[in-house]
Chain A
Amino acid sequence: MSAVTEHAVRPVPERALRPAPQVTAHEIVTPRRTKRWIDWVTTTDHKKIGIMYLVTTFVFFGLGGMEALMMRLQLSEPNNTLLSGETYNQLLTLHGTTMVFLFVVPVMAGFGNYFVPLMIGARDMAFPRLNALSYWLLLAGGIVFYATLFFHPPEAGWWSYPPLASIQFSPSGGQDAWIFLIHLTGISSLLGAINFYATIVNMRAPGMSWGRLPLFVWAILVYAILLIIALPVVAAAVTMLLTDRHFGTHFFDPTAHGSPVLWQHLFWFFGHPEVYIMILPGFGMISEVIPVFSRKPIFGYKAIAASTAVIAFLATLVWAHHMFASPVPIVVLGFFMLSSFLIGVPTGVKVFNWIATLWRGSIVMTTSLLFAVGFIAIFVIGGITGIFLAVFPVDWQLNDTYFVVAHFHYVLMGGAVFSIFAGIYYWFPKITGRLLDERLGKLSFWVMFIGFNMTFFVQHALGLSGMPRRIYTYQPGLGWSTYNLISTIGAFILGVGIVLTIINVAINYKRGLLAGPDPWKANTLEWFTTSPPPVNNFDVIPRVRSVEPMRDIRRQIERQTGVSQKTGGSERFARM
């Protein structure tokens, strides 16, 4: 089956030669009646909501990062007395909960909010006011949770296993604040998910069949479906925990024939799909960035879209691999080992397809692509260590150790966060109309890449040497001290790398080079409008004829005018 297409020789039908729209969109300037901040608070514009999502989640990312650095400082040497066991447990709970519920999941909603309507040629989300509600519920959840800093933060970890999280062992209101955080961010994500689903199913540009949907939009669609499947389960579970704590029920109370293992099943039935909820949109961004900067169509579009759906299906069947050391029969462990193995196949397919897209491309190494390539390298390690953990006898040794900490940071920090950074460098020009500094960006990448690997690679060795996770201190002479020191130094290097990008954004938000509508010569419709896009996104919504509508439009204009399209600043990136 030959899939090579020759564009030059294909006859051009007369119809295609109609004048291509030159002015793609224009700003309608209305006299400003309200103050600027009221504009933001009352907005239902998906782009403004998207920006609010991105800014808010990055504030939480900063908080979560500071919590991580404090924990790393505490562990930098044995018998350190910087933090008490109580404070350390509070920090690990804050860090885990923040990164999962207030950063990675909602930051993907932020990107989705801004770019899904633009990529499918819609003028807004299906339910704009619901969209605003999603954002405000997220913020409310974050405030409820972080308000505990002034009272008593929760300290039972982000899984909050009962009985530790029950009223006897966690009497403080911090645990209840954690429950309300799950409820508020849960409703926020659920509403957001329904909104994404309705938008993507109903509001695509003419001609944009399922086979022409951008891969990022595919990822957001599946992300939404997974959220709709997983979130009601955790909402029910935390409600049961709440009634156990305050209203006399005994769902998880072993002294009254309740079962702590029930919580583990319910939590992880949500918790494992949550992992894919966090990483699938990242996969989608990588699938957008790589073809653009390889100047090549994505290799195996159908396989990538299908693997996203297969991963989502399997994600609901693997939860008990978090519970291999719990009281669960061996035959169940065998089932969950096999289902976890299976998920490796579609994930592997994605990685192979990305590499095949780079293969024989004409690679323009922008910062965005650098982050994408770094993502693949790191994610491969995280994926492979996942196979170790899926083998349940091996997991009996590795579960709840620093090996697991290393594994999921390779997947979520090196995976999701690196893809988020690839997305930031790729889409910042669209959001602000200005380019980020490429040199500073590349420096940021290398500092992050080195800091990341230094922090987390040695954590595999820590786990293998017997260090359990979530301990606030350790004795010298166990072979852990050197690894921990390396890891702590690495964490600060990683922090510097992240700050470099934040500086880059702060400087270039107002002063960066003007980007023009399509600085990268990209493939998807968001580049068809001005940067930043006007409130109505598009004056004309073009008919979509392939997965790469912008390429078709550029080619059409080139054919009509006979000159190569000079778009924004893309020539700057021709040879880097």
Chain B
Amino acid sequence: MRALANEQQIGRQRGHRARALSFALALSLLGSLAFAPIASANFLTLKHGGSPNANQISSLYNIILYIAAVVFFVVAGALLYSVFKFRAKKGAVAAQVHGNTRLEIGWTVAAALILVALTVITFVKLPKIINPPNSSTGGLVLSASVTQPTPPNGKKVTVCVQGRQYIWRYTYGNDCLNNAFASKLPYSYQLMVVPANTTVILDIQSTDVVHSWWVPSLGGKVDAVPGYTTYTWFKAPKASTPQRPVIYHGQCAQLCGRDHAAMTAQVQVVTPAQYTAWLSRQSDLISKANAQVTQLRAILTAQGVLSSNGNL
């Protein structure tokens, strides 16, 4: 009997030590979580600031975060309280309760009501996320186009985004979707240049596997699926200045092969004047490069390296 009691006492001491250890470990966890946000931003919030749709998604996210935090603390609080409060003690008897219909209906309805509220909030916010606004005054003045989606006044810049293993190609021009290669539209790879305060519509396609277009600060991601065209838009308020370049980073978000990690995208926002200048310079560079290729082909054909139809 005494041996047993002794053993129990030792057991209890060991229990205390284990509890102290577990508290220490929990503290270290909390510590690492508390210091992590200092390391960089976006610990609990979404990236935004580059476009109204990204901002709207971010504020929708924040509303859900507040509701979620309340739900979490209530549920976790009840769990912790019951675990600490209702430990087995001498003489304590567990309440033999099988259920409580009123309570159970109550929390089912409460959970449903929270979700109804979230649904309403989402659908209230939705139009501002999916429908592009007009370009602001001071934005680029453009002709109308029939491609979806379209701001109310129909004026927008269209950029065709083509995903391929493992680079993004951008073709600039309202007609880019129909003839991305045939027409002499300016294009660029990896770095997209867009005018500020202007509604930019992206027509997204893929030439090989599924990719996903995503620049977090400019809005949500859109898959680039071969055989489909998908659309998104953004409207960046700030243009680059020589001191502060405005460049938003993003990358392909859908596994597309071995160099998926290298399929990055940069979007540089410039003033409308700089944008038109950049476009014509880009066209110039492309036609010069094309001229060089034609010249080289002519030389190689003359030398007999290429046959007359341009093949090796």
Contacts and interface: CB of A to CB of B under 8 A. Distances in A.
Interface of A: 1, 3-7, 84-86, 89, 92, 155-157, 161, 163-164, 169, 254-255, 257-261, 294-303, 325-327, 330, 334, 337-338, 341-342, 344-345, 348-349, 351-353, 355-356, 358-365, 373, 376-377, 380-381, 384-385, 387-388, 391-401, 439, 442-443, 446-447, 450, 453-454, 457-458, 460-461, 464-466, 468-474, 478-480, 482-483, 486, 574-576
A473 B264 CA distance: 12
5 contacts: A3-B100, A360-B94, A464-B46, A471-B260, A575-B89
B179 interface: no
Nearest to B250: A466
A355 B29 contact: no
A486 B78 contact: no
B28 interface: yes
A297 B256 CA distance: 51
Nearest to A485: B39
Contact of A300 (B46, B99, B212, B221): B99
B227 A259 contact: yes
Closest CB pairs A-B (n = 7): A396-B220, A254-B227, A479-B40, A471-B261, A482-B39, A85-B258, A254-B226
Interface string B10-31: 0000110010011001101100
A86 B259 CA distance: 8
Interface stretch (B114-122, B135-143, B285-293): B114-122
B60 A470 contact: no
A155 B258 contact: yes
A355 B261 contact: no
B122 A358 contact: no
A299 B28 contact: no
A360 B97 contact: yes
A192 B312 CA distance: 60
B72 A384 contact: yes
B283 interface: no
Contacts of B42: 461, 464-466, 479
Contacts of A355: 75, 78-79, 82
B255 interface: yes
Contacts of B76: 377, 380
Interface of B: 14-15, 18, 21-22, 25-26, 28-29, 32-33, 36-37, 39-47, 54, 56-58, 60-61, 64-65, 68, 71-72, 75-76, 78-79, 82-83, 86-90, 92-104, 107-108, 111-112, 115, 118-119, 122-123, 125-126, 129-130, 165, 208-210, 212, 214, 216, 219-223, 225-230, 249-262
A3 B98 contact: yes
B7 to A, nearest CB: 10
Given A84-B258, A465-B40, 9 more contacts: A163-B210, A163-B226, A255-B226, A296-B96, A299-B99, A363-B87, A384-B72, A443-B21, A575-B90
Contacts of A391: 60, 64, 118, 122
B41 A479 contact: yes
B22 A446 contact: yes
A327 B230 contact: yes
B125 A393 contact: yes
A355 B118 CA distance: 25
A575 B28 CA distance: 28
B82 to A, nearest CB: 4
B119 to A, nearest CB: 6
Contacts of A338: 119
Contacts of B260: 85, 89, 470-472
Contacts of A398: 46
Contacts of A257: 227
Contact of B221 (A325, A482, A486): A325
Contacts of A5: 96, 98
B86 A359 contact: yes
Contacts of A396: 57, 219-222
Contacts, number: 314
A164 B209 contact: yes
A464 B58 CA distance: 10
Nearest to B126: A393
Nearest to B263: A471
Contacts of B257: 85, 89, 164, 169
Contacts of A358: 79, 82-83, 86
Nearest to A470: B255
Given A365-B87, A446-B25, A454-B32, A400 B253 contact: yes
Contacts of B22: 442, 446
Given A169-B208, A337-B122, A400-B212, A362 B226 contact: no
Contacts of B58: 397
B122 A363 contact: no
Contacts of B226: 163, 254-255, 260
Contact of A330 (B25, B130, B228): B130
A474 B261 contact: yes
Nearest to A466: B216
A345 B60 contact: no
Contacts of A400: 212, 214, 221, 253-254
A388 B46 CA distance: 12
A458 B36 contact: yes
Contacts of A443: 18, 21
B260 to A, nearest CB: 6
A458 B210 CA distance: 28
A394 B253 contact: no
Given A89-B255, A361-B94, A478-B249, A352 B47 contact: no
A447 B111 CA distance: 33
A393 B129 contact: yes
Nearest to A576: B15
Contacts of A261: 225, 228
Contacts of A327: 223, 225, 228-230
Contacts of A3: 97-101
Nearest to B25: A450
B96 to A, nearest CB: 6
A254 B98 CA distance: 57
Contact of A341 (B32, B115, B250): B115
Contact of A156 (B33, B54, B255): B255
Given A393-B125, A450-B26, A344 B64 contact: no
Contacts of A92: 255
A365 B87 CA distance: 8
Contacts of B101: 1, 3
Contact of A348 (B60, B111, B227, B259): B111
A396 B259 CA distance: 23
Contacts of B87: 362-363, 365
A464 B57 contact: no
A397 B220 contact: yes
Nearest to A170: B257
Contacts of A325: 212, 220-223, 253-254
A292 to B, nearest CB: 11
Nearest to B41: A479
A85 B79 contact: no
Nearest to B220: A396
Contacts of B45: 464
A296 B95 contact: yes
Contacts of B93: 362
Contacts of A446: 21-22, 25-26
Given A85-B258, A393-B129, A450 B28 contact: yes
A296 B94 CA distance: 6
A145 B281 CA distance: 54
A78 to B, nearest CB: 11
A124 to B, nearest CB: 32
Contact of A397 (B14, B57, B68, B126): B57
Contacts of B165: 169
A21 to B, nearest CB: 25
A461 B226 CA distance: 31
A297 B56 CA distance: 47
B82 A387 contact: no
A4 B95 contact: yes
